[in-house]
Homo-oligomer: A and B are copies of this chain.
């Protein structure tokens, strides 16, 4: 299938490779084109504008945040460039309000729109092991299916309103941030009573939390192994703010999200923006021993 792809970042590159490996023809746009050299050697076609990437029946975008989506999609003529009936699959973690705006803009332009953020870090993308949260009309989801098959291990179809996928994604990321804060506090408590952090991880993941994500972040925080980041803390803060923003618009108080946001801000003040977002758990650990 002909696929356009906008955004060849840490997540986009392994996803494009999976699409190429599955036999698709991929036209790629990236703001900084030198990132595309290797992909071109592997068979991708490099184009020099988002609109030029959007002429296929399916265009995937995998961008960093709301600003990037606004600049590279909405303000870059992508909707006009897409053929009638083509489908845009937006896989970024963006705000609920921008997702709603995108949904409405595509509807006005009579273009298909699927919102499909993912759970998984770059290594999962490279292995085709992403979990995909997809929402859109049944017809649009069907068009997008080959993309999901190439990069994901499982696709959750969340109904016809694309926004639902973004809501679920924000819920997931918030829950991981809470889990990381939980690890940090538990390590502080356990450590104060002579129980090693790693021992606590081994017990809890070996008993009530037999989930790889508990093990992954438990190990990182226990070992204070925050660099290099697979997902930088500043993006974790961004996502916590997206969750709070979505809650605010519906007058929903999220005390855990407020707490997590405050811990993120303290982490940023300590200079940890570009550490792995697992470093959220470090704030409470250090508060417990009085240093930072």
Residues of B within 8 A of A119 (CB): 207-208
Q: Which of A71-79, A175-183, A223-231 contacts B (4 or more CB under 8 A)?
A: A175-183
CB distance from A292 to the nearest CB of B (A): 4
Query: Chain A: residues with CB nearer than 8 A to chain B?
Result: 96, 119, 131, 133, 154, 156, 158, 161, 163-164, 167-168, 170-172, 174-176, 178, 181-182, 185-186, 188-190, 192-195, 199-200, 202-204, 206-211, 213-214, 241, 243, 246-248, 250-259, 261-263, 265-266, 268-271, 284, 286-292
Question: How many copies, total?
Answer: 4
With CB as the reference atom, state the residue of chain B lying closest to A203: B156
CB distance from A238 to the nearest CB of B (A): 11
Q: A133-B203, A193-B246, A210-B210 are in contact. List 8 more A-B contacts (CB 8 A).
A: A119-B207, A158-B199, A168-B195, A181-B255, A188-B253, A258-B261, A271-B290, A290-B292
In the complex the two chains form, is A200's CB within 8 Å of B168's CB? yes
In the complex the two chains form, is A189's CB within 8 Å of B167's CB? yes
In the complex the two chains form, is A250's CB within 8 Å of B207's CB? no
Residues of B within 8 A of A210 (CB): 210-211
Task: Report how far A186 CA is from B259 CA in the complex, Å.
Answer: 15
What are 7 A-B contacts with C-beta separation under 8 Å? Answer: A167-B189, A172-B208, A175-B182, A188-B253, A192-B247, A253-B287, A292-B292
In the complex the two chains form, is B269's CB within 8 Å of A289's CB? yes
Residues of B within 8 A of A248 (CB): 241, 265
Task: Report how far A270 CA is from B253 CA in the complex, Å.
Answer: 12
Cβ 8 A contact of A208, one of B176, B259, B261: B176
